[in-house]
Chains A and B, each alone.
Chain A
C-alpha cells in the first residue's frame, strides 16, 4: 500500500487498524501451521531415514530371489509364486493442517504359507517383509513431498506478512495518525486564530 495515495480520514484509520489486527491474527495462524507442518516433517524424516537401511535390505531380498530363481528355475518358482495371496492396499487422501497427503490403508496381509520349497519360501518371506517397509517409506515420502511444498508456501506467506504487509500497514497507520494529529492541531490553531480575529474586530 503506497502511503502517499491513502485517504487520510478517521474511517480509513479505523479500517486499517482492523486490518492490522486481522493480519496479525492471520500471521499467528500461519506460524502455527508452519510449526505443525515442520513437526510433521520431522516425524516423517525419522521414517525416511530408514530408507538407506531398507535399500540394503532390498538388495538382500533381490539376492535371495535370484538364488531361488537359480535353484528352482523360472517355471517352478513361478508356480510357487502363484500360490501367494497378494497384499491388499488402498491409497486415500487425508488432510494434515489443510494439506492433502496420501495415506496407505492396508487390507489383508499377503499369505505365503503355500510356498513350500525352502528357497522360494525364504525369498517370499523377505519379499513380503520388504514390501511392508516399502509401503511405509513410500507413504512417508509422498507425504513429506506434499507437506514440504505447503511448508514452503506457508513460510513465504509468513515472511511476506512479517516483512512487507505488516510493516507497510503499520507505516500507513503511523502516517495517517500523524497526518490526523497534524490536521487536529491545524484545526485547533485555525479555530484559535478565528476566535482571536473575531475578538479583535469586536
Chain B
C-alpha cells in the first residue's frame, strides 16, 4: 500500500471512528425505559436510515438486531472499499469474510440439527460481498451437500473434515476448520502490512484460549481440543498451548504470561464459580479493550483500521445486548454489566 493510500485510509477511519457510539451513550441506552426508547435514540446515530425504514410495530429485538448487523456489514465493507487496491484491501477483504464464515457455520448447524435454514437466520450479507452460493447452501439436504457445494470455494478443504465430523457427531470439527481457513488466509498477509499483526494475532490467541477454556470445562478430549484450535500463534506459543491442553484449567494462569495470565486467572475463577456463561465476555472485553488502546497508541498505522473494525463489532454486540436485554425486561445493571467498553 502506497504511503498516500495508507494515510487516506487511516484518515478516513479517524473520521468514521467519531460515528461510533461511546460507552457513556451505550449506558444511557441501557438506561432507556423500553425498546421503543432505544430505537428512538438510535435514530440520532448511523442506524437512522435503516431504522427509519422499519415500521414501529415491527420493531422487536430480532428485527433491530438485523438492522444492527446490516450496519456492521456495511461498515466493514465501507472500510474495505476505502482502501486502495493492494495488500491492505486484500487483507480487509479476507477480514470481512468473517460474515461469510459465520453464515456457513449457521447453515451447517441447521443442517446438522435437521432444521430448515432460512435466509432470515443468516447475517444480512449482500450478494456482491460473497462468492458462496448461499441460496444453494440453504436448500442443501444435509451437511454433506453443504460440503460439496463449497468444493469450488476457498473453503474446499472442509471436505476432508466431513468424515471426522461424522465420527465425532459434532459440528465443532467443521467450525474449527472454517476458522482455520479464515484466519490462515488473513495471517498470510499480516507481515506484508505493518501494524496489522498485533490485533489480529491477539484475536487468534484469545479465540484459542476461549475454545480451550470452554471445551476443557465440558470435558472434551485433548485431541478434539487440539483440532478445534487455530494452528497460528502470536503471543501464545504453540508449546504453551499444547501444555494448556494437557493440563488442568487452574494451572493456566501459571503457564501463561503477562496479560493472558491475568485473563486466564479471571476465566478460571469464573469457571470455579460456575459462571461459564460470562466466559466469552471476559475474552472479548480484553480484545476490545486492546483495540480501544490501539486507537490511542497507533493513530497513524494500519492497526488503527483493524482496531476501528473490531470496535464496530463491539458496538454491534453492545447494541444487540441492549435491544435483547430490553426485550427481555432485564435490569439496567444486568445490561450494563454485559457491555464492552468502546
Q: Which residues of A contact B (CB under 8 A)?
A: 64, 66-75, 78-80, 82-85, 111, 113-114, 116-119, 121-123
B276 in contact with A116 (CB, 8 Å): no
Given A70-B325, A114-B172 in contact, is the A119-B65 Cβ separation under 8 Å? no
Binding site secondary structure of chain B: helix
Q: Name the residue in A78, A117, A118 with the highest tally of chain B Cβ atoms < 10 Å from its Cβ.
A: A118
Instruction: From the candidates A64, A78, A118, name the one contacting B121 in the complex (CB within 8 A).
Output: A78
B280 in contact with A118 (CB, 8 Å): yes
Binding site secondary structure of chain A: helix
Determine if B109 is an interface residue (Cβ-Cβ < 8 Å): yes
B330 in contact with A70 (CB, 8 Å): yes
B74 to chain A, nearest CB (A): 17
**Residues 319 to 335 of chain B near chain A (Cβ within 8 Å):** 320-321, 324-325, 328, 330, 334-335
Cα distance A116–B229 in the bound complex, in angstroms = 13
Given A78-B121, A79-B106, A79-B110 in contact, is the A116-B277 Cβ separation under 8 Å? no
**Residues 256 to 309 of chain B near chain A (Cβ within 8 Å):** 276-281
Cα distance A138–B254 in the bound complex, in angstroms = 48
B320 in contact with A73 (CB, 8 Å): yes
- Cross-chain pair count, CB within 8 angstroms: 103
Q: Which residues of A contact B169 (CB under 8 A)?
A: 111, 113-114
| Nearest A-chain residue to B174, judged by Cβ | A114
Instruction: From the candidates A85, A111, A119, A121, name the one contacting B218 in the complex (CB within 8 A).
Output: A121
B29 to chain A, nearest CB (A): 13
Q: Name the residue in B110, B117, B277, B328 with the highest tally of chain A Cβ atoms < 10 Å from its Cβ.
A: B277
A117 in contact with B280 (CB, 8 Å): yes
Cα distance A122–B62 in the bound complex, in angstroms = 22
Q: Which residues of B contact A74 (CB under 8 A)?
A: 61-62, 65, 324
A114 in contact with B171 (CB, 8 Å): yes
For this complex, 22 residue pairs linking A to B, each with C-beta atoms less than 8 Å apart, are A70-B321, A70-B328, A70-B334, A70-B335, A71-B278, A71-B280, A71-B281, A75-B62, A75-B122, A79-B110, A83-B109, A83-B110, A84-B113, A113-B169, A116-B172, A116-B214, A118-B213, A118-B276, A118-B277, A118-B279, A119-B277, A122-B277
Interface size on B, residues (CB 8 A): 43
Q: Which residues of B contact A80 (CB under 8 A)?
A: 109
Given A82-B115, A113-B172, A117-B280 in contact, is the A75-B69 Cβ separation under 8 Å? yes
Instruction: From the candidates B65, B277, B328, name the one contacting A75 in the complex (CB within 8 A).
Output: B65
Determine if B186 is an interface residue (Cβ-Cβ < 8 Å): no
B112 in contact with A83 (CB, 8 Å): yes
Q: Which residues of B contact A83 (CB under 8 A)?
A: 109-110, 112-113, 171
Given A118-B277, A119-B277 in contact, is the A70-B172 Cβ separation under 8 Å? no
